[in-house]
Amino acid sequence: MSTTSLNVVLKGRRSQPHQLIEVLQDIQDLYGYIPADAMKTVAQELGVPLIEVYRVACFYKAFSLKPRGEHVITVCTGTACHVRGSTLLLDQIQGQLRIQPGHTTDDGLFTLECVNCVGACALGPIIAHNGMYEHHMTPGKLRKIIGDVYVTKKEESHHG
């Protein structure tokens, strides 16, 4: 982890405990997750107890403490999506990628996550692929999305 980029994030925010969430958000964007060392630095630089930094980082779904895959698939398991069959979607992903919600595939390509309602119930079941919402999802469409990622990956490695 480079300290310079962390320095950029912290610039002008040192000793300002109320900046905690913003700083964590930037770190999340920077690394795709929040490394333990970064949390220690943040605690020191902002003057917030480490337990507080950890608590906040664990509280919000937007923060991840583990490295995340290149493609984050978020399945909505809210009530509306549930009755419209989001469990089938989950089964599909779990079967295809062999990972549980909250985990990342060994090749670092996919991360599976669940949320409770993204606020688009009428369009359910919803999944978010790297933050982009895909509506009226079916196991079939999902299988294709995941398959396409693997195909592109293969082509890239062929040409690259």
Partner 1 sequence: MLQYVTLTIDGSRVRAAKGTSVLDAAIEYGICIPHLCHVPSLSDIGACRLCIVEHVRNGSSNVTTSCTLRVQEGMVIRTNTEKIVKLRRNIAELLVAEAPNSRAVQDIAVRCGVKEVRYPFRNNNCIQCGRCVRYCNQYWRANVLGFIGRGKDRHVDYPLGTRPDFCKNCGACTLYCPMSVTPCEGPMKRGEEHLCGKCESQLSMSASLPGACVRCDLGKGFQCARHA
The residues binding ligand FES (CB under 6 A) are 76, 78-81, 117-121, 124, 126
17 binds partner 1 (CB under 8 A): no
**Residue 51 interacts with partner 1 (CB under 8 A): yes or no:** yes
Q: Which is nearer to ligand FES, 20 or 76 (CB)?
A: 76
Residue 48 CB, shortest distance to partner 1, in Å, is: 9
Strands (E), 46-91: 71-76
Residue 79 or 138: the one with the smaller Cβ distance to ligand FES is 79
Closest CA to 23 of 9, 44, 7, 33: 9
Q: Is 62 in the site for partner 1 (CB under 8 A)?
A: no
Q: Which is nearer to ligand FES, 99 or 120 (CB)?
A: 120
E strand intervals along the chain? 71-76, 110-115, 127-129, 132-134
- DSSP label of 17: G
Which amino acid appears at position 7 of this protein?
Answer: N
Nearer to ligand FES, 39 or 76 (CB): 76
Q: How far is the CB of 131 from ligand FES (least distance, A)?
A: 15
Give, rounded to a whole angstrom, the gap between the first and last alpha carbons of the chain. Answer: 26
Q: Pick between residue 59 and residue 150 the one whose CB is nearest to partner 1.
A: 59
DSSP 4: H
| Residue 56 interacting entry, from partner 1, ligand FES, none, C-beta within 5 to 8 Å by type | none
**Total binding residues toward partner 1, as defined by CB under 8 A:** 11
Task: Give the separation between CA 24 and CA 10, rounded to whole angstroms.
Answer: 10
**Which listed residue (8, 36, 83, 151) binds partner 1 by CB under 8 A?**
36
Residue 159: half-sphere exposure toward Cβ, Cα within 13 Å: 5
Residue 56 CA to chain centroid, in angstroms? Answer: 16
Residues that bind partner 1 (CB under 8 A): 36, 39, 49-55, 58-59
